[in-house]
Amino acid sequence: MPEAAKPGAGALAALKDAGGAALVAAALSFPIVALATVEDINQKLVLEQRWSWVVGAAAMVFVGRLATRAPGAAVVARWALFALAAVVAAYFVSASLDIDADWPAPLILAVIVGAAGFAALALSAPFSAASAARAKQRALRADLAARAGLLRFAGLAALVIFPLFALWLLGPQGSLKWINNYGIQILIYVMLGWGLNIVVGLAGLLDLGYVAFYAVGAYTYALLSTTYGWSFWICLPLAGIFAACWGILLGVPVLRLRGDYLAIVTLGFGEIIRVVLINWSDLTNGYAGVSSIPRVTFFGVPFIDDDSGFAARFGLEFSPIHRTIFLFYLILALALLTNAATLRLRRLPIGRAWEALREDEIACRSLGINTVNTKLTAFALGAGFAGFAGAFFAVRQNFVSPESFTFPESATILAIVVLGGMGSQLGVAAAAFALIGGMEMLRELDFLKQIFGDGFDPAQYRMLVFGLAMVTMMIWKPRGVVSSRAPSIFLKTRAAVSGDHVGEGRG
């Protein structure tokens, strides 16, 4: 949260500060941004000067810095939003009137980014008004808690209806993208986020190699089905059990470490599993991966265009969308299973011990809690859920290769947990929707081509947007979307515990 400085003097100081930051940005971007080498028509390297880019970068930094420092940022933010609207309107008016505006793209980007920063601040301003607002905030939280029940029910209903609704609205062709790319993709990450939430959010163990267990699950199904022809429904629990066993196997030596050391070792183990998958080519077929993995069946009834297929048996016209819809419900069920197990475990002694471990490991030991076993259960359970998700991944793609299980996957899942608010189920789900859905959404932003030219592909900027979202969140809400913690047991009132008190876990 930005601290409100004294009015008057604060404004000047903020301007100075922002100016200084802009100068630094200009100086830094000068060698990197201002000059670029390009090939000219004679295939000679020439220097291209891009001074507008430097100005754009400096302007971006100036606006962003000011946004975090300025007194009364909320008021400014509202004006900035108006200004943004005016700029966008002016641009489209000039474009529609065929006036060649030729505005440098970075300047427009700068305005957008600055405005986004201001918008975030404007939204957060009512919350940051220190002590006076704190009571109001508490009332708000109680209100939110009451609404959460309704929200949960509505959300669940919406999820169940979603694929049928999409099918009805867009037909089998049009709805495929929405159910597959959005629905299934997001739900996989919701499930992974919920699984990792047990390890990171509840037990406070920073695991950077979570994707390794996802890989174990995926390869379990891939290899057992292609080698022995085992059905998905047998392999699904096996994948979870195998991944959990790997969790225990890796956990026994590493869980004596704490904090940063644990993070580094889990990162290493994540890489080891991937490297083994690449190099043990006799078993895993190396880089080429395992292909033609059997597809999912409706509990034994295949989704094929045949008399014995799903469509024929249920008197429907064959369409590949049936399988996709079934996959959607399958991952929904798996994710809900993860959620139900987590919520239930939180109210059991083991779940409370996880949270106590996150709060203070030494105090746990003094109360007779076996910390190694407690950590191990959290690690194994998180790994088990990743194994389920992995088996689902394999049956959905019918192809697995080590490419799918690289470190950025782990980082994305961890980002979902951190952005969602460690330990909060609702927050993690929301973060998965925003992050994964947002990344898919970038593919849809074709209108940006009007601004930045035809060569502009918004999807290429996903990491940039991802990073910006992270930075904004860390400034605005450092404890994630849902920073408060719901107590597992209460005597009279169920009041959420503010994130200020909740530990983040050091090991």
**From 43, 96, 460, 493, residue interacting with other proteins (rule: CB under 8 A):** 493
Least distance to other proteins, CB of residue 35, Å: 51
Helices (runs of H) and strands (runs of E) counted in the chain: 19, 4
Cα–Cα distances (Å) from 109 to 52, 103, 317, in that order, read: 12, 11, 48
Shortest distance in whole angstroms from residue 348 CB to other proteins: 4
Q: Indicate which single residue of 324, 371, 410, 412 sits in contact with other proteins (rule: CB under 8 A).
A: 371
Task: Kindly state whether residue 150 participates in binding other proteins, applying the rule CB under 8 A.
Answer: no
Options 138, 141, 352, 462; binder of other proteins; rule CB under 8 A:
352
Binding-site member from 222, 413, 502, 507 for other proteins (CB under 8 A): 502
Q: Least Å distance between CB 504 and other proteins?
A: 9
362 interacts with other proteins by CB under 8 A:
yes
Sign of torsion over alpha carbons 100, 80, 433, 154:
negative
Considering beta carbons, is residue 60 or 353 the nearer one to other proteins?
A: 353
Does residue 386 belong to the site contacting other proteins (CB under 8 A)? no
State the Cα–Cα distance between residues 254 and 97, nearest whole angstrom: 65
Supply the angle between the helices 105-128 and 130-177 in degrees, to the nearest 10.
130
By CB under 8 A, tell whether 131 contacts other proteins.
no
Our CB check for other proteins shows the closer of 207 and 355 to be: 355
Q: What is the rounded distance in angstroms from the CA atom of residue 197 to the CA atom of residue 386? A: 11
**Is residue 360 part of the contact set for other proteins (CB under 8 A)?**
yes
- The span from the CA of 353 to the CA of 345, in Å, is 10
CB of 244 to other proteins, least distance (A): 14
Q: Give the pairing type, strands 297-298 and 45-49.
A: unpaired
37 counts as binding other proteins under rule CB under 8 A: no
Residue 348 as a binder of other proteins (CB under 8 A): the answer is: yes
Name the DSSP class of 485: B
By CB under 8 A, residue 353 contacts other proteins: yes
Shortest gap between Cβ of 505 and other proteins (angstroms)?
A: 10
Please pick, from the candidates 226, 451, 488, 506, the single residue that binds other proteins as defined by CB under 8 A: 488
Q: Indicate whether 336 belongs to the interface with other proteins (CB under 8 A).
A: no
Nearest distance, CB of residue 433 and other proteins, angstroms: 26
Residue 352, φ and ψ in degrees, nearest 5? -65, -35
Q: Is 136 in the site for other proteins (CB under 8 A)?
A: no
Q: How far is the CB of 136 from other proteins (least distance, A)?
A: 17
How many residues interact with other proteins (rule CB under 8 A)?
A: 40
366 scored as a contact of other proteins (CB under 8 A): yes
Containing 244, the helix (H) or strand (E) segment is helix 232-254
396 is a contact residue toward other proteins (CB under 8 A): no
Q: Where are the alpha helices (DSSP H) in 280-420?
A: 281-284, 310-313, 321-346, 349-359, 361-366, 371-397, 407-420
Among 16, 365, 443, 449, binds other proteins (CB under 8 A): 365
Kindly give, in sequence order, each residue whose CB lies less than 8 Å from that of residue 33, ignoring residues fewer than 6 positions away. 50, 53, 54, 57
Query: Whole-angstrom Cα distance, residue 2 to residue 17?
Result: 14
| Of the candidate residues 50, 92, 124, 359, the single one contacting other proteins (CB under 8 A) | 359
CB of 203 to other proteins, least distance (A): 13
* Distance of alpha carbon 44 from alpha carbon 40, whole angstroms: 6
Q: How far apart are CA 8 and CA 340, in angstroms?
A: 53
- Taking the C-alpha atoms of residue 419 and residue 144, their distance in angstroms, rounded to an integer, is 19
Least gap, CB of 470 to other proteins (angstroms)? 23
Collect all residues with Cβ–Cβ distance below 8 Å to 401 and sequence separation of at least 6. Answer: 287, 288, 289, 290
- What residue type is 375 in one-letter code? K
Residue 135, interface with other proteins (CB under 8 A)? no
Closest contact distance (angstroms) between CB of 375 and other proteins is 12
Please give the structure tokens belonging to residue 103.
Answer: 């505005």
Which phi and psi (to 5°) does residue 347 adopt?
Answer: -95, 0
Find the binder of other proteins among 356, 426, 436, 473 (CB under 8 A): 356
Q: Minimum Å distance from CB 499 to other proteins?
A: 8
Tell me the backbone φ, ψ of residue 319, rounded to 5 degrees: -155, 140
Question: Is 257 a residue that touches other proteins (CB under 8 A)?
Answer: no
Is residue 201 a contact partner of residue 374, using CB atoms and an 8 Å limit?
no
- Note the residues at the interface with other proteins (CB under 8 A): 341, 344-345, 348-350, 352-353, 355-356, 358-360, 362-371, 377, 485, 487-495, 497-498, 500-503
